[in-house]
Structure 1
C-alpha cells in the first residue's frame, strides 16, 4: 500500500513544488513494468464518502472497484455484468441470472440474495440514488435467480441496473444506520483498501477476481481540483493518467499524451417560449439563424468541441448515423430591435465567454441584448421560473441509464421539472411519451430521434455545440478507457509498459 501526500489544488507558481511529493512512483520511470502501480489524478474529490448511492459511485466504477448487474455497449444497449442474462416475466417483473463464482473483496460470495440486498437498500436510502427517482422497485429471490419488479412497466430496467449508483457490494458494506462502506466490499479487479478523506485513495489488485486479473499492481489516486495542476502532473511525468484536462492546458501538453472524448453534454441556448419576444416562433427562428457555431468552437473551445446538429451528439454514435434532415421549421422573422435578457452562470468558466459572443451575434442580427451572469446557486431559481428570455446552459443529455429520454422529458415537456424554455407543446409531449414507452433498441432509438426533431421544430432550444472531455495519458500507459459516459477509466487491462 502506498501512503503519500495528495496533489492539492494550486496556482502555477506552486505546481512544481506540489508535484514532487504527490505520487509515490514516478509515472515517467522507464523501468516500469506490467506490475507498476497506476498514478491517477482525478478532478472531483468524494462528496459523500464514496457512497455508491451518490455520484461518488462513478469513481468506484472508473477505478474498477465495484460492478453492476448490467453494463452498456456503445449504443446504450444492455450487456451482461454481474448478471449473465435476464428476461421479462411480466409487464412489471424481470428475472436475472446471477454470474456464478464471483467473490467480493471481503471473501464473501455473490448470490441473488446479496444483489437483492443492495437494491433494497438503494430504495430505502436517503437521499435515494438519482437513477431511482420516480421509480418504485422491489427485489426478491426466486430459487437462485434475482427478481426485480416495478410498480409500472419499465422497458428500460436492464439499462437502469447498469448505473454505478446500483453497484452490487458485499453485505458487509451496509451498516444498520444506512451508511455504506465500499472499502474492501466491491467485486472488481481492483480492491479499494484506503480512502484518505477528500485527498487520496488507494486500490490494490484483487487476485480473487472472477474475470481477467488486473495487469497493474494497483491504483494510487490523488484528487486534484485544479486543472492546471492535473495537466502539470502529466507534463512532468508525475501522473500516468489525468482526467478532465482544461482546454486552456491541452495545447501545452505533448499531443501524444492527450485524447479527446465526445461527451453527452450539449451547450444549448434555451429560449423562453411562454413570455417575452421569444413567445413568437418566428423570433425564435431569427435567433436560431443568428448563431455562428464555428465562432464559438474556435474562439472559446479552441476547436475542441463538435458543432451541434441536434440536441444529441457524437457521444451517442447512433444519433449521428440515423438522424434525418429536419423539415417543417418556422421561417425566421425580423427581431426589429426586440430587447431580450440573456443569462448564464459562472460555475463553468467558459459559459460567460460564450454568452458574450452570443450577445454580439444576436445584436448583429437586430436584437437588443442585456446580459445577466451569476453563480449557478443564485440563478437557478430565476432560470426555472422563466425570468430570462434566453439562457445558456451546458447540459448533460444522457443520465444514469445511458438513455436520453429522461433529459427530453425533464427539459421539454409541459410537466418537465427542468423546463427552462417554459415549453408546452402537445406534439413534443406526445413524441416524448412514445419514446418513453418504447422498448429498448432500434425502436426506442427511432422514437428518441422523432422526439428530438419535435423539440427542434419549436426552436425552444438551439443546440450550439457538443463538448469533449480531454484526458491526459502518459505515453507509457496502455489500455486506459476513453468513455463518453465517464463510467470506465482504469480496467483490468490498463497497465504501464
Structure 2
C-alpha cells in the first residue's frame, strides 16, 4: 500500500471508529416534538427534545441544581447587571464557533415576534456583547433568580439563522414554518440527522461536543405513538427501548416482566383549567351578550362541580395528587397551609350558578389535548360529566397537541386544560407567566384566559426583585391567596411520571420530565 493511501485509509478508519459499535436508543412518546425550533413552543417535551441539540448558558445537573452550560461563570456586577463568561472552544454542529454574537442574537430572537419563550426574557432590558466571550445581561429591575430563568433559553447560531431565513422563530399560533422547523444547528451532544414530523426523528452523537457524555448512546430514534396499547406493545416486543408515559392501567403488568421496568416519580407539573375572563362575550357559548366567566360565582361553581377525588382514583388510578395551588411541592414558594381545595359540592355549585343568573346552566365549548398529559382526554371527560350534573353542557373538543396548542396559544378558546412546570422551579414563574395580566413583552404570555388582578401584578414585580426570602415568601402567599379568592384558574392535580423501559437501559428521570440522552446507557 502506498504511504499516502495508507494514511488516508487510517484517517477514514479513525473517522468511522465511533460508529463501529454504535449504540441506538429507540424512544417512543405519546406525542411528537412539534418543531426543531427551540424558541417555537414553551412545552416540556419540546424543550426536553431540543435540549439534546441546543444548550443554554446555565444548565441543570441530575438533581436540578444550576451548573455551568455555555457560560462557565456568572456574577452580578450591579443590582441590575449580570456578567456571563462564555465557554471557549465551543462549536456549533456546522463547525462555526460559539461567541457572544450568538448570545445577543439568541436573546433578541427569543424576545421577538413569534417566540413562545418571551416570558423568559420579559424582565430583561438589554443583552450586550463585552467581548467575544463575555456578555452582560441588564434587567429592568433587580432580578436575583435570573440564572434560574436562563436554563431553558437555548442558544442558536446567528449566521446559520440568517443564511437559512430563520431569524425569527416559528410562530405556532399562525402555523408559520421555516427551515428551523426541520433542521437544527446547535452546540449540544446530539445533532439532527433526520426529521419526519409526526413519524420519526433521528439524532446522532456530536463527537465534537465540548463536554463529557455520561452515557453510551450514539443514535436516538424518536417515534411518536399516540395509541396507548400500541405504545405498550412496542415496548413489550422490543421495538422501542424507552417509552412514556406508561398508561396507568399497564404499570403493574409491565413491572412483572423480567425484561422491563417502570420508573415512577412525582412530577413538578400542575394540571389546571383556564377560562376566558376578558371577552365581553365568549367565543363558544350559548350565552350571548355577556361572559359568564367574568363572574366569580360562576368560576367557583365550576370548581365545586369537579369531583377531584373521582379523577384521582378512577381516571388517574391514584397516580395524581389533588391540589389547590398552581405550583407543586418542591417549587420555591409553595405554601403547604394554603393547599386546601374548595369542597366538591354540586348543590353549592347549582346555587352559585342560579345566583349568577344561570339557574338552568349554560353551554360552553371546552378545548383539551388528548396526547400531551397523562389521561388528559379522560380528565376532560370527567370534568364535563361533573359540570353536566349541575346543568352546564360541555361541548368537548379533544385533539392532538399538534393542533391544540396552535389554537389555545392564539386564545381561540373559552375553556381549556393546560399543564405547567415552572422552568425556574420558582413560584415567580407561575405568577409572571400564568397569573399576571398579559402584555406584549411576555408577561402573562400563558395566561390564556387573561385573568387580571392589579394587586397580583404589583406583587409579581416586587417578588421578582425581593432578596429577603421570608419577605418574598410572604408576598408569594399573598398573591396566591388573591388568585385563589378570585378563582383565577381551576387547579386540578400534579400528575406522576411513569417511564417504561428495558432493564438494560439506565437513565435519569427528572421531576420536570426532561429526558437527556447524554445520561442514558444501553447495555448489550
- Shorter-chain TM-score category? 0.7 to 0.9
In the other structure, the counterpart of 2:203 is 203
- Measured in 2, the distance between the counterparts of 1:419 and 1:121 equals 22
1:308 deviates by 1.4
Find the partner of 2:503 among 465, 475, 489: 475
Gaps of 5+ in 2: 1-19, 167-178, 279-289, 439-443
In the other structure, the counterpart of 2:218 is 218
In the other structure, the counterpart of 2:73 is 85
- Measured in 2, the distance between the counterparts of 1:204 and 1:385 equals 38
CA contact (8 A) 2:367 2:413 kept: no
In the other structure, the counterpart of 1:254 is 255
Greater alpha carbon shift after TM alignment, 153-162 vs 274-283: 274-283
What does the per-residue CA deviation read over 1:431-487, in whole Å, with 9 as the maximum and x for residues that have no partner? 333334435977656643442233123334332222234322111101x23234344
In the other structure, the counterpart of 1:162 is 151
Greater alpha carbon shift after TM alignment, 421-430 vs 212-221: 421-430
Alpha carbons of 1:41 and 1:450: their partners in 2 closer, same or farther (altered >3 Å)? same
Is residue 371 of structure 1 aligned with residue 394 of structure 2?
A: yes
Q: What SS does the corresponding residue of 1:257 show, helix, strand or coil?
A: strand
CA contact (8 A) 1:205 1:216 kept: no
Find the partner of 2:518 among 487, 491, 497: 491
In the other structure, the counterpart of 2:321 is 306
Find the partner of 1:40 among 10, 16, 27: 27
Q: How many residues align?
A: 452
CA contact (8 A) 2:101 2:132 kept: no
In the other structure, the counterpart of 1:340 is 361
CA contact (8 A) 1:344 1:352 kept: no
Q: How does 1:12-31 map to 2 (within 5 A)?
A: none
1:422 deviates by 6.4
- Measured in 2, the distance between the counterparts of 1:384 and 1:183 equals 29
Gaps of 5+ in 1: 1-32
CA contact (8 A) 1:281 1:330 kept: no
1:295 deviates by 0.8
- Measured in 1, the distance between the counterparts of 2:427 and 2:361 equals 30
Q: What SS does the corresponding residue of 2:194 show, helix, strand or coil?
A: strand
1:111 deviates by 3.9
CA contact (8 A) 2:277 2:451 kept: yes
1:242 deviates by 1.6
Alpha carbons of 1:76 and 1:35: their partners in 2 closer, same or farther (altered >3 Å)? closer
1:231 deviates by 2.3
In the other structure, the counterpart of 1:10 is none
TM-score (norm. length: structure 2):
0.69
TM-score (norm. length: structure 1):
0.72
Alpha carbons of 1:429 and 1:115: their partners in 2 closer, same or farther (altered >3 Å)? closer
Alpha carbons of 1:97 and 1:246: their partners in 2 closer, same or farther (altered >3 Å)? same
Find the partner of 1:175 among 124, 143, 163: 163
Pairwise CA RMSD = 4.5
CA contact (8 A) 1:101 1:109 kept: yes
What does the per-residue CA deviation read over 1:276-318, in whole Å, with 9 as the maximum and x for residues that have no partner? 777676776566555432211122122222221422124x454
